[in-house]
Structure 1
Amino acid sequence: MSDLARYFDVTGCRPDGAPSADALARLQLAHMLAFPFENLNPLSGNRVLLDLPALVDKFTARRGGYCFEQNLLYRQALQSLGFRTTPLLARVRANVPEDVVTPRTHMLLLVDVDGERLISDTGFGKMTPTAPLRLVPDVVQQTPHGRYRLVQVGDMGAPAQWGAPSGEYRLEAEIDGTWAALYQFDLRPHWQPDFEMSNWYVSTHPASHFTRDLIAVRTVATGRHVLHNTRYSLYGPDTIFERRELTSGPELMQLLESTFDLAAERVPGLAAKLDAIAARDPASAS
């Protein structure tokens, strides 16, 4: 069985016919329902590999990953079905002061299909849109897991000599009736070496939250399971169904294996890291 055949076998979604916006929506949701967002490798000091065979081996063995892994694998699947995709890099803006310029450390896709340009992203953790979004500013767009909008904004302080585009897009999500910024991007294409560089930074730098904090998100039809360090939450469309604190490394491991359906026990060095996280003050993990 080929690499992508194994991928489609897990997602259970391989539309026939020409690429379409409807097929893209089904593929994006199927991917997100099949593969959790998680950072177990960088957290435990294991390498994050971005080549297709490594991604397929990992994702088809009860694992997931973060944006570079998720969207590079997803892009390969889309391209195999004839979709025209352009990989982009974004600056994370969630919980960041407006005057702080962040690096481009988030990957997403621009997809041209049915005469439209759509943003399709499977790797932004608990706030990932679960449907493609039309590249149209100031229009509220409903997805199976919440409402989003794109806002056209100025550059992030780039000097004119850099040749930056005249404007960028900011993705926002509606949270408790308020619009919150998620990330900001332009339409300049980026390629594998760009992602390798950004991936190396976020997976190894001591200041990266992916090397310090436990993060896992599993999307289900009715909401999302979210684990941030020792705090577990179950989010519904408009409410939090459950929230609790975990108190030990084994308890965290069991939750990852069961609720998140991750083969966490196989990750070298993870058990010790979970013990250390559980030993922190719970207030610092929230």
Structure 2
Amino acid sequence: MSLEILNNYLKRINWEYSAPKPDLATLTLLQKQHTHHIPFENLNPFLGILVKLDSDSLQRKFLQDHRGGYCFEHSLFFKQILEIIGFKVKGVMGRVWRDNIIVEIPENPRTHMILVVDIDNTLFHVDVGFGGLVPTQPLLLKPDSIQKTTHEDYKFIQDKYEFTLSALVEDQWRVLYTFNLAAQYFSDFEMANWFTATHQKSLFTNHLIVVRRYSDGHYALKDNRLTTYAFNKDPERKYFVLSTEIKEVLQDIFDLPLYNLPGLNEKLTQIIHQEHHKA
């Protein structure tokens, strides 16, 4: 069964390389392919549909239904794939920071899942579920060193037990999240997932967010606004006034099937009206 899951996953990410092995070269290719072929999306919590994290549900969603997901779904499923291949990996929890500001007493809880992979006693940070600024390759867990990727540059700052990850965006370092290396367990992720998927203050219950990387940038849909980010170009933004336009984008740009999504038309119409009244 594990081999079947792995083979189906490799087909999903358009794997055209040699058989995967538990080494850095394989991990780098897996992360690139995953972030390019499986979108970050929150259709389920946005529509009030239960977000399930058990292995069978994740396999069905990613491999059979051809869907994406948000951080807990992506990271737990990717962790399972890495373990099938033979990687030593654990999940940890991060706290996302908004507006590039870290405060002493944060209002937001730790609700972001990250993977830490041990390759020959060297630790790598692996994140496949952080939307538009998701790293497209493993990052050496080494502070105060700028690490270049095929997309943004990243760096870690360490303060005692906490790491802070920042990305270089338009010549400015933007703080993404802080985390530590304390191992978290499935029950911890379930608790954080429940808040993220159901709480009225959660970003993901209030807004539609879909992101996919591509070789020269990434696409980001937030509610009725599609932004195309491309290297060495200004972002291009397009606003939609019809729910059918948003559905076309979900299907054509993000390659998402739209069946078994009750209430989608109504929610899309609702966010269009909300954005119209803000304008």
Within the candidate set 236, 240, 243, 2:234 is matched to: 240
Residue of structure 1 equivalent to 2:152: 146
In the superposition, relative to structure 1, how do residues 284 and 109 fare at CA in structure 2: closer, same or farther (>3 Å)?
Answer: farther
Deviation for aligned residue 1:146? 1.0
Please state whether the residue corresponding to 1:224 is helix, strand or coil.
strand
Residue of structure 2 equivalent to 1:8: 10
**Structure 1 residues 75-84 or 3-12, which shifts more?**
3-12
Q: Deviations over 1:39-58 (max 9, x none)?
A: 00000010111111211111
Indicate whether 1:210 and 2:212 are aligned: no
The AA in structure 2 aligned to 1:147 is D
**Structure 1 residues 225-234 or 258-267, which shifts more?**
258-267
**Structure 1 residues 215-224 or 88-97, which shifts more?**
88-97
Contact in 2 for aligned 1:84/1:111 (Cα 8 Å): yes
The AA in structure 2 aligned to 1:91 is R
Indicate whether 1:103 and 2:109 are aligned: yes
Q: Deviations over 1:54-99 (max 9, x none)?
A: 1111112221000000010100000001100011000011326422
The AA in structure 2 aligned to 1:108 is I
Deviation for aligned residue 1:197? 0.5
Deviation for aligned residue 1:284? 4.9
Stretches of structure 2 lacking an aligned partner (at least 5 in a row): none
Deviation for aligned residue 1:282? 4.7
**Structure 1 residues 3-12 or 243-252, which shifts more?**
3-12
The AA in structure 2 aligned to 1:67 is C
Matches of 2:218 and 2:155, distance apart in 1? 20
In the superposition, relative to structure 1, how do residues 9 and 93 fare at CA in structure 2: closer, same or farther (>3 Å)?
Answer: same
The AA in structure 2 aligned to 1:47 is L
Residue of structure 1 equivalent to 2:36: 33
Within the candidate set 130, 135, 141, 2:136 is matched to: 130
Deviation for aligned residue 1:15? 4.9
Contact in 2 for aligned 1:94/1:180 (Cα 8 Å): no
Please state whether the residue corresponding to 2:111 is helix, strand or coil.
strand
Two-structure CA RMSD over aligned residues (Å):
1.8
Please state whether the residue corresponding to 1:267 is helix, strand or coil.
coil
TM superposition score normalised by structure 2: 0.92
**Count of matched residue positions in the alignment of Structure 1 and Structure 2:** 273
**Structure 1 residues 54-63 or 224-233, which shifts more?**
54-63
Residue of structure 2 equivalent to 1:113: 119
Contact in 2 for aligned 1:20/1:113 (Cα 8 Å): yes
Deviation for aligned residue 1:265? 4.4
The AA in structure 2 aligned to 1:171 is L
Indicate whether 1:79 and 2:73 are aligned: no
Matches of 2:76 and 2:168, distance apart in 1? 27
In the superposition, relative to structure 1, how do residues 105 and 80 fare at CA in structure 2: closer, same or farther (>3 Å)?
Answer: same
Deviation for aligned residue 1:240? 3.4
**Structure 1 residues 63-72 or 9-18, which shifts more?**
9-18
Please state whether the residue corresponding to 1:111 is helix, strand or coil.
strand
TM superposition score normalised by structure 1: 0.90
Matches of 1:37 and 1:284, distance apart in 2? 26
In the superposition, relative to structure 1, how do residues 120 and 200 fare at CA in structure 2: closer, same or farther (>3 Å)?
Answer: same
Please state whether the residue corresponding to 1:104 is helix, strand or coil.
coil
The AA in structure 2 aligned to 1:252 is I
In the superposition, relative to structure 1, how do residues 265 and 277 fare at CA in structure 2: closer, same or farther (>3 Å)?
Answer: farther
The AA in structure 1 aligned to 2:22 is P
Matches of 1:279 and 1:17, distance apart in 2? 47
Residue of structure 1 equivalent to 2:254: 260
The AA in structure 2 aligned to 1:81 is I
Residue of structure 2 equivalent to 1:278: 272
Within the candidate set 174, 192, 205, 1:198 is matched to: 192
Deviation for aligned residue 1:227? 0.4
Matches of 2:20 and 2:130, distance apart in 1? 29
Identity fraction in percent: 37
Within the candidate set 45, 49, 71, 1:46 is matched to: 49
Contact in 2 for aligned 1:218/1:224 (Cα 8 Å): yes
